Amino acid sequence: MTHIKDAIEDGDHPLGTWTSVGHPAVAEGLAQLDLDFLLVDMEHTTMSLETVEGMARAVDATSSETDAVVRVPWNDSVRLKRVIDIGIAGVMVPMIDNAEEARKLVRSLRYPPEGIRGIAGSRATGYGRNFQKYVDNANGSILTIAQIETEEGLENAEEIAHVDGIDALFVGPADLSAAIGMFAEWDTDEFADAVKSVIEAGNKAGTPVGTLTVDTDAIETRMGQGFDFLIAGKDISLLMEGVDEAIDEYEDSLDDTVVVSSD
């Protein structure tokens, strides 16, 4: 079991941040902070498996408890197998629409006879040195998060949450808001009702529910909605916001300097 899987199962309200810049230095720097996990995004970035492996190594190199969780591009058993062979703590899978897709996801992450994961001497097994021990204990050890972000997924959220092996649901806010015809209208009743229905589905099944907010000012609002964990902020957005603040400070200082000089 990993720190992040334990934290989610124990209801400790873990916190992560989103990583879309595919450089180990970004992962290593963020992993030194008081975060439970980094979400490394492969769905909407150009990151290769080699890049993700470098990111995972960078996270593991720190002395913190921060774990690497990877969002894969799709519910594809071949891609999932190759990603978890890297030795990461968990996966997030987009657009899980029904219980059968959720069961396919779980089977992809487990060795036979419970699943269809192929067995190999990968980084996860210590390149074969811990082969037997790893294979004996791997099933059920990888955090498994199903994203709810379509109308079908919204309708079937409770049955997805009940699938054995699904550790958490995750509201994909952008795609879900688009699916219900309310793209980026975060404060509407319609979007709030959709979010509420996923949270209620998770509560009925005893399955934690999380979401992302790029806007860190919305953290209190999202937690107030009843989410069990959160991904707050996105690396490139936080970087740009920090530089924007520096620009504003510089321009204010320049204006003050000009005023003093003219006096």
pLDDT in tens, the chain (263 residues): 799 999 999 999 999 999 999 999 999 999 999 999 999 999 999 999 999 999 999 999 999 999 999 999 999 999 999 999 999 999 999 999 999 999 999 999 999 999 999 999 999 999 999 999 999 999 999 999 999 999 999 999 999 999 999 999 999 999 999 999 999 999 999 999 999 999 999 999 999 999 999 999 999 999 999 999 999 999 999 999 999 999 999 999 998 776 656 65
Which residue, 44, 115, 45, 120, is CA-closest to 87? 120
Q: How far apart are CA 226 and CA 18, in angstroms?
A: 20
Structural domain span for residue 110: 3-235
Secondary structure of residue 133 in the 3-state scheme? helix
| Three-class secondary structure assignment of 35-86 | CCEEEEECCCCCCCHHHHHHHHHHHHHCCCCCEEEEECCCCCHHHHHHHHCC
Whether 254 is covered by a domain: the verdict is no
Please report, for the domain that includes residue 40, its CATH number.
Answer: 3.20.20.60
What CA–CA distance (Å, rounded) separates 188 from 223?
Answer: 17
Residue 248 lies in a domain: no
87 conformational bin, left if phi > 0, alpha if psi -120 to 50, beta if neither: left
Burial class (CB in 10 A: 0-12, 13-18, 19+), 251: exposed
Partnered with residue 213 across adjacent β-strands are 232
Which distant-in-sequence residues (6+ apart) come within 8 Å of 181 by Cβ? 190
The whole-angstrom separation of Cα 76 and Cα 91 is: 12
Q: Which helix (H) or strand (E) holds 107?
A: helix 99-108
Active site residue 13: no
Amino acid (one-letter) located at 251: E
In a domain, 172, yes or no: yes
Residue 118 three-state SS: coil
Q: What is the C-alpha to C-alpha distance for residues 210 and 8, in angstroms, rounded to an integer?
A: 10
Would residue 116 count as lying in a domain? yes
CA 48/CA 109 separation, integer angstroms: 20
Q: Is residue 220 part of a domain?
A: yes
Residue 246 lies in a domain: no
Selecting among 3, 23, 44, 162, the annotated active-site residue is 44
Q: Which residue has the tokens 């992993």?
A: 31
**Residue 52 placed within a domain:** yes
User: Smallest Cα–Cα separation from 41: which of 79, 91, 102, 7?
Assistant: 91
Number of separate domains in the chain: 1
In a domain, 178, yes or no: yes
Give the per-residue pLDDT at 1: 72
Residue 173's SS3 state is helix
Question: Helix or strand or coil: residue 168?
Answer: strand
Q: Using a cut of 0.85, tell me whether the model's pTM lies above it.
A: yes
